[in-house]
Amino acid sequence: MTGTYEHSIDNAGRLIVPAKLRERLGAKFYLSVGVKENLTLYPMETWDRLRAKVSELSTTDAAALDLFFAYAQLCEVDKQWRFQVPGYLKDYAKIERDVVITGNNDRAQVWSAETWRAKTRQELNPETIANLMKNLGI
């Protein structure tokens, strides 16, 4: 998935899936905490691969993901392609109303608009992009 999409969470706590991500994300997906102050949307196929990898871990290693799975939410979209964002996930990502949804390879991410703007100010520059490409061997 790719792209950057600006949206708002409505008064009922629902967020719309951007039209360009709908096919890849699907009508059912998982929403959980991200590795930064963001949320991650996992298509079922990606979620199933993640679960399979975790099931191969030792109980002790898998315990490190207790909160990740405890905070995960199965989402099903309504006819307008909206899904509910639980308050505890909005709190984690410091989301109030305005969000930015970004494609991120085989998943999507949801950021508070403010956090996303700060991230782009800090990281979106030619030097950072050049170093990323170099580290990938490109």
Domains of the chain listed by start with CATH number: 4-113 (3.40.1550.20)
pLDDT of residue 135: 84
The token duo for 7 is: 């949206």
pLDDT of residue 15: 96
Confidence of residue 64 (pLDDT cuts 50, 70, 90): confident
Higher pLDDT, 86 or 129: 86
Name the pTM for this structure. Answer: 0.87
Specify the amino acid at residue 12: A
Task: Specify whether the CB–CB gap between 110 and 39 falls below 8 A.
Answer: yes
User: Per residue in 109-138, pLDDT tens?
Assistant: 999 999 999 988 887 778 878 887 888 888
pLDDT of residue 58: 87
Pairing of strands 14-16, 4-8: unpaired
